[in-house]
Amino acid sequence: MNAWPTQLSESCAACADEEALDSLAWVVMPDHLHWLLQLRRSSLSRCMQAFKSRSARAVNAAGAWQGSVWQAGFYDHRLRDERDLERQSRYLIANPIRRGLVSDIDAYPYWWCRWISRAADL
């Protein structure tokens, strides 16, 4: 795993602190980020632009990368009810296990979820 996870984790938290969105769950993977969020007072495009800008500056400043960090655009999916939130958050948090990065999510430090705090919650 490269040096990006800490900068991306901190950028997720900073965006939520600005009250533009509520973070519900996120997991930083070696080459991408999964983020379950609820918009509050901004558009999704604006939130993603702010996140990409903030995180790219942090990654570059940490010496983890030089130049462009993110590809253009992003993929989004709208969840319609509470069952979708729970199912998607579990799927999202289990990504490092499915990818073979760890055998137990408790061994992977680059994730957070409002409803899940340890492997037993999955």
What pLDDT score does 92 carry? 93
Residue 82 makes CB contacts below 8 A (sequence gap 6+) with: none
Distance CA 16, CA 32 (A): 19
What pLDDT score does 82 carry? 81
φ and ψ at residue 39, rounded to 5 degrees: -70, 145
The reported pTM is 0.81
pLDDT digits (tens, 9 = 90+) for 67-99: 677 888 888 888 888 888 888 999 999 999 999
4-121 fold: Alpha-Beta Plaits (3.30.70)
φ and ψ at residue 35, rounded to 5 degrees: -140, 120
pLDDT digits (tens, 9 = 90+) for 31-42: 888 999 988 888
pLDDT interval class at 108 (50, 70, 90): very high
Burial class (CB in 10 A: 0-12, 13-18, 19+), 101: middle
CA angle at 122 for the pair 24 and 86, rounded to the nearest 5°: 40
pLDDT interval class at 104 (50, 70, 90): very high
